[in-house]
Amino acid sequence: MVIIAGTGAQSARQTKELGVQAKESGAGWVLVLTLSTWAQAMGPVTILEYHREVADACPLPYMIYNNPTVTVGIDLDSNLISSLATHTKLSSFDYQTSFATIGAKSDAHLRTLLSSGTGTIPALVNIVPKVHTKIYKIFLEYQKTKDVRLLEEAYSLQEKLSIADWAMMKIGTLGGVKAIVAQEFGYGNGNGKVRLPLREVNLGVVVQSEQGAKWWKAVEEVLKIEKSL
């Protein structure tokens, strides 16, 4: 198993320290958010300098985690990503010494693959990893054969996955994932306990409402597929 360690902190110095600790703890990659304490100061030049400086000091292959939701709106556009892609540590993490882009949403899993992305690292994969893998394997077979029937099969699975991803957002993404993992797979706490400001999720309460029952039904459908694979 390869471990990706999230090492992004609110200073270059601490992010470098965490990168070293990740290496010592056995991680294979680091995943680094752009620091955002002084968001207004984080212009393109500063962002490039930050990631290059931290990557230079990092003992592991380096993955940029672009998530504007948790970085006060800081969004790395394609020009910034292209500039950073030339860095050695940023261009060798996918075993093929080539730069790769990875999506973060299950509802874009197949679309990411069809757009030349490497894959996705979404929250829903904690619940239905085999469904994601099934779509990925079908896509690889489609690339070899160009059999449209394979693509249709992948789209059919992706449709169910996308609806479940939307439903998880409504239930409460991280809290919902933790609650479902505990309920369906028997580990973790059973009430979706997460750190503030995120909210805990009680599935028993969710399904009592008509709308909540519909959300759960969408998730339950992909869980059934998961358990059949």
- 58-94: pLDDT as tens digits: 999 888 888 888 888 898 888 888 888 887 766 544 4
> Which tops the pLDDT comparison, 21 or 62?
21
| Dihedral angle over CA of 52, 56, 58, 59, nearest 10 | 150
Angle between helices 148-171 and 129-145 (to 10 degrees): 150
Segment 1-11 shows an average pLDDT of 90
The Cα 186–Cα 115 span in angstroms is: 36
Fold of 109-229: TIM Barrel (3.20.20)
Residue-range domain boundaries for the chain: 1-100, 109-229
In the block, which residue shows the tokens 């990740």?
22
For residue 189, the model assigns a pLDDT of 64
pLDDT over threshold 90, residue 9: yes
Q: How many CB atoms lie within 10 A of CB 57?
A: 16
Q: What is the mean pLDDT of the chain?
A: 88
How confident is the model at residue 226, as a pLDDT?
Answer: 95
- CA angle 131/161/31 to nearest 5° reads 75
Judged by DSSP in three states, 69 sits in helix
Helix (H) or strand (E) holding 41: none
Coil, strand or helix at 22: helix
The answer to whether the beta carbons of residues 123 and 168 sit under 8 Å apart is yes
Token pair for residue 184?
A: 């369906």
Report d(CA 171, CA 167) in Å as an integer: 6
Name, in order, each residue with C-beta under 8 angstroms of 159's C-beta and a sequence gap of 6 or more. none
C-alpha closest to that of 5 among 83, 19, 172: 19
The alpha helices in the chain, defined as continuous H runs, are 12-24, 44-57, 78-84, 109-114, 129-145, 148-171, 173-185, 203-206, 210-228
Nearest by Cα to 62 from 107, 35, 83, 92 = 92
The whole-model pTM stands at: 0.79
The yes-or-no verdict on residue 19 having pLDDT over 90 is yes
Grouping H, G, I as helix, E, B as strand and the rest as coil, residue 119 is strand
pLDDT band at 192 (very low <50, low <70, confident <90, very high): low
